[in-house]
Structure 1
Amino acid sequence: MDLPPAITTYLTAHNTRDVDRAVACYAPDAVVIDDGRGHHGTAEIRAWLAGAAAEYTYTTELVSATRLGEDTRLGEERYDVTQRLEGDFPGGVVDLHYRFTLRGSSIVRLMIEP
């Protein structure tokens, strides 16, 4: 499936550990929820991305991508992207859902969960 540029740019930047490029995909008031913790605004998201990039070494493979729908009242679209991560983290392999909410050309919410 063709994903919006904000998602493809973010995934590429995240995979190559390009924090500046990844952060540029987010709206200023965006929220990321990963591992049960919320990161609010681009400053917290930048810190989260920098920490995640340094903590483990891993590769990713796109498994699937689905458009979940849109809320025309809010001008938002939702997508679920599943990626397989393999690396030196506990367990070594995991499939993660990246649940994106976009408003216009920016990511306003990302929830990452198994």
Structure 2
Amino acid sequence: MTTSTEIQPTDLPATIRAYLAAHTAREADVAIRTFTPDAVVLDDGHAFRGTAEVLDFLENAGSEYTYTSTLVGGERVDDAHWVAVIHIEGDFPGGVADLRYAFTLADDLISELVIAP
């Protein structure tokens, strides 16, 4: 059984912090550089595979809403698996949510990102 360890958000790997900063700034062209060419992103029941689909996700996910996001927590599962907890507030249904961004890293790049409540 794998157990995770809570960490300070600033202790997340540099690649994850770079992705989160670029994603928050809506800089998809910067964020895509943190992914492997064959990366997979799973969000809201949809899978985005490879550079073109992940870039489309980065450019369009949540674009119909105005919201703020705050990195409020982190977890280290093992050397390749990390979780960032993001608190969002905005004009989307429900208005407030805490999302878990579960990252898998390969060669210091994101090979998988699963976003879930």
TM-score normalised by length of structure 1: 0.91
In the TM superposition, what whole-angstrom CA distance separates every residue of 1:13-57 from its partner, at most 9, and x where no partner exists? 000000001111000000000001100001001111111152211
TM-score, normalised with respect to structure 2: 0.88
1:105 aligns with 2:114: no
Structure 2: stretches of 5+ with no match in the other structure: 1-7
Corresponding residue number in structure 2 for 1:6: 15
Matches within 5 A, 1:54-93: 54-70=63-79, 77-93=80-96
How far off its partner does 1:84 sit? 0.4
- Equivalent in 47, 50, 66 of residue 41 of structure 1: 50
| Whole-angstrom CA distance in 2 between matches of 1:14 and 1:53 | 11
Aligned counterpart, 1:74: none
CA distance in 2, matches of 1:36, 1:78: 21
User: In structure 1, how many angstroms separate the alpha carbons of the residues matched to 2:15 and 2:102?
Assistant: 13
| Correspondence for 1:29 | 38
For the 8 Å contact 1:19–1:50, the answer to whether it is kept is yes
Counterpart AA for 1:83: I
The answer to whether the aligner puts 1:52 opposite 2:55 as a matched pair is: no
Alpha-carbon contact 1:100-1:110 (below 8 Å) kept: yes
Q: How many residues align?
A: 108
After TM superposition, which residue ranges in structure 1, 4 or more long, deviate above 2 angstroms? Answer: none
Q: Give the percent of matched residue pairs that are identical in Structure 1 and Structure 2.
A: 47
Contact 1:100 1:109 in 2 (8 A): yes
1:53-75 Cα deviation digits (max 9, x unpaired): 522111111121010114xxxxx
